Amino acid sequence: MNNQPQRILKFRAYVKSDSIFDEVDTNPFMAPVKSINFEARFVELENDDAIWHFEDIKLMQFTGMFDKRKKEIYENDYLKNQWGTVEMTWSDLRQGWIPIIGDKNTEWEICGNRFENPNKNL
């Protein structure tokens, strides 16, 4: 696991199935974000021609860290190790991601996320 967070500004989006637009009939899905327009409040996703409004998605920021399988860890990912499962969140108080993934004796593995696995017991 890379224990030194990189300063890469990168997002993925969870597209909700209950879109505010009647003509958009989609199943929920996760996709990397190509661009974000914060002023107009929309995103463009990679490999998708649609423009998604903030109301239709949940943005998750890349933490700059990787799990034991070298998979990118994003905000709201569920991580598990030998002691249990936790959700990756930002702490304003600590000015960093929680859980702190600096313990070299802990091997974290992504096991889902808040949006695709909302009923997961943490």
**Sequence spans of domains, the chain:** 11-113
Half-sphere exposure of 79 (CA within 13 A, CB side): 27
Pairing of strands 57-66, 11-15: antiparallel
Reported as a single tens digit per residue, the pLDDT across 4-31 is 554 678 999 999 865 544 455 567 888 9
Could you tell me the pTM of the whole model?
A: 0.79
Reported as a single tens digit per residue, the pLDDT across 29-88 is 889 999 999 999 999 999 888 889 999 999 999 998 899 999 999 999 999 988 889 999
